[in-house]
Amino acid sequence: MAERFLWFLKVIYLIILSLPSPLRGQNKELKFNDPGLKDQWYLGKNAADDRHNNIWSAWQQGATGKGVRIALIDNGVEVTHNDLLDNIVTESSFNYGDFNRDLQPRKTRTPGHGTKMAGIIGMSANNNQCGVGIAYEAKISALTFGWTALAHAQSYTHRLNETDIYVSTTGPPDNGQFIAKHTKQVMKAYVKGITKGRRGLGSIYIRTSGSGGYHGDHCGADGTVNNLYSIAVASAAKDHSQTLLGEGCASILTSVYTQQTKWFVKGFTKDVITTDLKGSCTINSGGSSTAAAMVSAIVALALSVNQQLTWRDVQYLIIKSSNQNNLPVTWYTNGVGLRFNSRYGFGILDAGKMVTLSKTWKTTGVNMVSQKVLVTKSM
């Protein structure tokens, strides 16, 4: 009898081990040999406070981004970078600026921008290089942006059946003098994505809120931010000062820590470590573009433990996983009792919390657009 009982326990043990680690709920022991890991303070490993994005906890739950495809819309990516080779899918990448397959970074004022964003999302793990990407097992399609409405719209439905998340880390001029209304083509692309993308579950659209705060810019003036379908993301500083370039508006859903102080200065501050041009590594990435890349990777972690989340589920989960973290700003309570601030949205996104909630999340469904309602004085 005792032998049979021991045999039964052994069978149960083997069944538990065969389950994916997110379902087991185990805290995995993580080991990485990437030299920059020691400077990735925002992961939350051995943190003494809550001023991080709790990504380490998400990894411990087995979330790596595996099985998730992210389309990164930026100014080109150095796809030959050794720390990106494993996760950039060149066959599904495209240049919408020139309508060709030249994926190399454009010669702009910030030519390395796209390469930095790609590294934040998907630097390889355990290859003795740079740091570890937040969704280090996700795959990335590198899309070079185009300024025409057609190019913009096409990039938002690129390989719709293969892509889970679209993250745009570029935007209109951040000079406080420019209103970028969304075009009909772009809005049709959004609607197509949320109705047909991800096998009907809806594509996830993530946007940088902008970097024009220094010029008094307002992210509500950007139509690709100020709409129902995209998730607008802001940056926060670890010392809780307001970031110099950050913009505010009612469209911001969440924030992440991207820098140590309101400033990020090359050679002086250690902010977000990532890939850079000529196969190099930098620790000077920050701001709202970095925030958008981070959030896209965190969403990839959530999708990797629950592929059935709808686009609405993701927005709900982000709100429920965002914490105020004692940020020294005024928080306003909305009609359902949630606290909100126009600079930080619903707070700082907690990756570990989002992954935990995602595993047992009951879907809210896909549709959310109601019919028109005639409002009268009697109502």
Residue 41 DSSP SS3:
helix
86 is catalytic: no
- Please check whether residue 271 lies inside any domain of the structure: yes
- Please check whether residue 1 lies inside any domain of the structure: no
Q: In terms of residue numbers, what domain contains 194?
A: 36-360
Residues 122, 140 contacting (CB under 8 angstroms): yes
Residues 300, 70 contacting (CB under 8 angstroms): yes
- Please check whether residue 7 lies inside any domain of the structure: no
- Please check whether residue 28 lies inside any domain of the structure: no
pLDDT at 284: 81
Cβ burial 266-289 (10 Å sphere, 16+ → b, else e): eeeeebbbbbbbeeebbbbbbbbb
- Please check whether residue 2 lies inside any domain of the structure: no
Tens-digit pLDDT profile for the chain (379 aa)?
556 544 454 444 434 433 444 444 456 789 999 999 999 999 999 888 899 999 999 999 999 999 999 999 999 999 999 999 999 999 999 999 999 999 999 888 789 999 999 999 999 999 999 999 999 999 999 999 998 889 989 999 999 999 999 999 876 554 445 555 678 898 999 999 999 999 999 999 999 865 544 444 556 555 567 788 999 999 898 888 777 666 667 688 999 999 888 665 555 567 999 999 999 999 988 888 999 999 999 999 999 999 999 999 999 999 999 999 889 899 999 999 999 998 899 999 999 999 999 999 999 876 655 555 555 555 4
pTM summary value: 0.87
74 is catalytic: yes
- Please check whether residue 142 lies inside any domain of the structure: yes
Residue of 124, 235, 288, 289 with catalytic role: 289
174 is catalytic: no
The CA distance from 250 to 172, in Å, is 18
pLDDT at 184: 87
pLDDT at 215: 45
Q: How many structural domains comprise the chain?
A: 1
- Please check whether residue 192 lies inside any domain of the structure: yes
Task: Indicate which CATH number applies to the domain containing 339.
Answer: 3.40.50.200
pLDDT at 125: 98
- Please check whether residue 103 lies inside any domain of the structure: yes
- The 10 Å Cβ neighbour count of residue 30 is 13
Residue of 74, 83, 174, 271 with catalytic role: 74
Residue 282 DSSP SS3:
strand
Residue of 52, 81, 113, 218 with catalytic role: 113
